[in-house]
Structure 1
Amino acid sequence: MTDNIDFLYHYTNIETLALILSNHTFRFRSLDQMDDLQEKETSDLKNVGQFCFISSWTDDSTESIPMWNMYSSLHSGVRIKLATNPFKKYANTPDSIQAVSKSPVTDNSNGNYIKSIITVADMIAKKYICPGGMSNNILHKVVYTSNPDELYPKLVSQNEDEYTIAFGSLGKYKNIHWQFQREWRYILQIFPLDIDQNPDQLNTSAQIMITKILQGLEKQPFSYYDLTLDDTAYSNMEITLSPKISPGNRLIVNTLIEKYNPSATVRDSSLLGLI
């Protein structure tokens, strides 16, 4: 994260709000599902955007009519305000890992368990790997550019027989025409890999995965990923109703809040009666 920022905003529809409130989660989707078709492209790899999962937000506290129209609705949408990095952290206990692992787990932690927004146990159980889910540092400010080297980055570098893929370059740059969004993103790189193997087997499996990615043949482990919200961030959620919200949709939002998150704040749009 490049700037100090306390809150971010997310425009969406009431149906998605219902799922966020009832499940306490936010959904990440891969770059090949974004409205900006440039996003999934690189200069040297095919289909690699499918491994980069994002959740899009803006730091613009002033309501945006284009954002309402593009990502929500003037009549049936909401804008969610949450504290930055609002995701729940879990302790990676030996017991939780042992419950899904084929191998014995030794506890040398002295009770100082590593906490992460995605657990090792979940990665083992669902046969994937997500390095960012362990680092807890997944928020990035989008850089807007007209530089083709940034919009279509070269990811692969070679040193003798070894290949390195700069997956970290994905999802961080957008065409300057999207600058009005003032976008920030939570970014996860997720790859299909069974990490519950001995080191030699794991290394071989990783090499096979990388080779298939280089050939454009590997497939994403799933089409979306849901991250759970921290209880405090969830309870302090602020929801702004769309500018032309109907009485029925207002009632739906208020009913959802009353049922799932009564401590959340609901506000009328600052554009109410102006458009």
Structure 2
Amino acid sequence: MEYLYHYTNISSLALILSNRTIRFNSLDKMDDLQEQETADIKNLGQFFYVSSWTDDAKESIPMWNIYTSHDQGVRIKLRKNPFRLYMNKKKDIEMLNAFKIEGEDNDNKVLIPFVDMIKKKFYSASCMDPGSLLYKVEYTDDNDKLYPKVFMKNEEGITFKFNNIGRFKNRYWEFQSEWRYGLLCIPMDYLKGPEKMKRDLELFAGNLYMGIAKQPFSYYDLQISDDAFDEMEITLSPWISLGNKVIVQSLIDKYNDKAIVRESSLTGLV
């Protein structure tokens, strides 16, 4: 599986092309209302940000019907893991007066520069390992997976187990053949210093348990790499209007003239 596909509308395509970004929305904004629920913690889905794709290269009538407007629909094809990678630069972090960094820059590539997390006051371990961002959704009838237990308390203290959130869906959704990019993002203000950060994290854990913690933002955008952007292919909805075809081509001409635009294989059949 080298490529993934995303069904959407022309308005979203325009933002993807003009900004060169993919938007990650929190789980509480997804179509499957079960996803934000756990066995013991409320409102946890708001801290998980995902972008949903499918590995099915064959066009899907249900996907066209559910995730696009008939006369404005498009399907985007991109290579898997299409995101730009960054290096954390010592000088950029020190300019914010956040930390004094010992040693030199390393060659580790990340999805989100640490300086951006400092500015936007959040932390995401997911971005440190770009290879872990993408996963295949598992469809199941197992309620223990659909509603995982998150809160754990033992002699060592309190922990939250996040690794099963957003990875399982009811079998009713199997037609999606879904793959996801996922980020866990929690609020954190690095400029407060270590002691205040520790107290804030303890307060966040308490609020998380009570279901009253607040997400740091409602969505997050990741930059598409130049190579992946140039390889983009766009399939038009089988019901797209002539005027919207012109709009799509105009967007391609302006923002990504290397992208390929294709007619739907279902045109005239549905």
Structure having the larger proportion of residues in helix: 2
Check conservation: 1:11, 1:79, Cα contact below 8 A. Answer: yes
Task: State the distance in 2 between where 1:160 and 1:233 align.
Answer: 48
Deviations along 1:13-62, one digit per CA (max 9) or x if unpaired, are 00000000000001101111111110100000011110011000000000
Match of 2:54 among 55, 58, 61: 58
Number of aligned pairs? Answer: 269
**1:162 aligned residue:** 157
**4+ long deviations beyond 4 Å:** none
Q: Percent of pairs identical after alignment? A: 51
Task: State the distance in 1 between where 2:80 and 2:97 align.
Answer: 33
**2:67 aligned residue:** 71
**1:105 aligned residue:** 101
The alignment partner of 1:75 has SS state of helix
Q: CA RMSD in A?
A: 1.2
**2:255 aligned residue:** 260
Name the TM-score, length of structure 2 as normaliser: 0.96
Structure 1 position 113, deviation (Å): 3.5
Structure 2 residue ranges without an equivalent (≥5)? none
Match of 1:229 among 206, 216, 224: 224
Distance 1:135 1:196, change over 3 A: farther
Greater Cα offset, 154-163 or 27-36: 154-163
Check conservation: 1:78, 1:242, Cα contact below 8 A. Answer: yes
Structure 1 position 194, deviation (Å): 1.3
1:120 partnered with 2:114: yes
Structure 1 position 161, deviation (Å): 5.6
Structure 1 position 73, deviation (Å): 2.5
Structure 1 position 10, deviation (Å): 0.1
Task: State the distance in 1 between where 2:81 and 2:4 align.
Answer: 9
Counterpart of 1:150 in structure 2: which amino acid?
Answer: K
1:133 partnered with 2:124: no
Greater Cα offset, 182-191 or 195-204: 195-204
The alignment partner of 1:63 has SS state of coil
Structure 1 position 209, deviation (Å): 1.3
The alignment partner of 2:70 has SS state of coil
Structure 1 position 7, deviation (Å): 0.5
Name the TM-score, length of structure 1 as normaliser: 0.95
